[in-house]
Structure 1
Amino acid sequence: MKREEMLKLFKQYTEGWKEWNKAMILGCLDTNSIITEFNGKCFSGIEQIRRWLSDWEKEGNRVSQWDIKNEYYDLDSKVAVFEWEFSCMIGSDKHHFKGSSIVKYHKNLIKEMREYQMEAECYYPCE
């Protein structure tokens, strides 16, 4: 699998969230995909992921930003790491943070994704 293909699939996933296009999101995932969010929530298989998307939509949540800042690839292992900046509305609360995703690929689809979060603003406590 090439870097361009890996990036294209991850962009399809993130753009699907920003456009709220469930077909885009699901279309880049293997039927046995596992997605682990930064807060520990884990969704295993396309049916659990589909239910998660439906629940997200019912609650009126929306992603407004998911911009990829850096990308790293291990082509032999079919693994990519993406650093990003993210904003969303959950109910009436706005959330903004930076994070990263470790993405494993299988047969030109996303097989597993683990997301990690950090605060949007860095500070230097020792200065």
Structure 2
Amino acid sequence: MRQREEIIKAWLDMWLGQELLPLEAVFTPDVHYYEFQGREYEGIDQIRRWFETWNSENRVVKWEVGRFVHDQDLTLVPFYFQNVNKEGEKREYEGVYLVEWDGDHRIQKLQEFYCKLPHYKPYA
């Protein structure tokens, strides 16, 4: 399980450092990646293109993970995310990754779910 946690952390570190390392160690060639906004990326080439395009307009400021919850070939990862775009606009949210692994500890499917911040209490 530790190896899986290190792979997820390496993926987040790529975003924090805006440096894409070899994706073949992280993802299967036919990976499916679902962003919370509804975008879907299929395969390493699409993930690479998304990474390069997104980082040309934005910068990740923080990406902190909580605990990892493992169950056979699944991992749940709560996280906090914050970014800023070229215009200086900040965005932050709390989210959860649902990660499915292959037999070689590579990500074959990743789904993002999130809650926009700041939270507010409409009935307080």
**Deviation per residue, 1:13-54 (Å, 9 max, x gap):** 111111112115564111111111010011000111111122
Give structure 1 stretches of 5+ with no counterpart.
none
- What secondary structure is seen at the aligned counterpart in 2 of 1:82? strand
**Distance across 2 between alignment mates of 1:88 and 1:79:** 27
**Distance across 2 between alignment mates of 1:118 and 1:24:** 30
**Distance across 1 between alignment mates of 2:98 and 2:25:** 19
Identity, % of aligned positions: 22
Match of 2:38 among 40, 44, 47: 40
Residue number in structure 2 paired with 1:79: 74
Residue number in structure 2 paired with 1:96: 92
Match of 1:28 among 26, 29, 36: 26
TM-score by length of 2: 0.88
Give structure 2 stretches of 5+ with no counterpart.
none
How many pairs were matched up? 122
Amino acid at match of 1:96: E
**Distance across 2 between alignment mates of 1:123 and 1:25:** 38
**Distance across 1 between alignment mates of 2:13 and 2:24:** 12
Match of 2:61 among 54, 64, 68: 64
Give 4+ residue runs of structure 1 displaced > 2 Å after superposition: 24-27, 119-127
TM-score by length of 1: 0.86
**Distance across 2 between alignment mates of 1:122 and 1:13:** 27
RMSD across aligned C-alpha pairs, in angstroms?
1.7
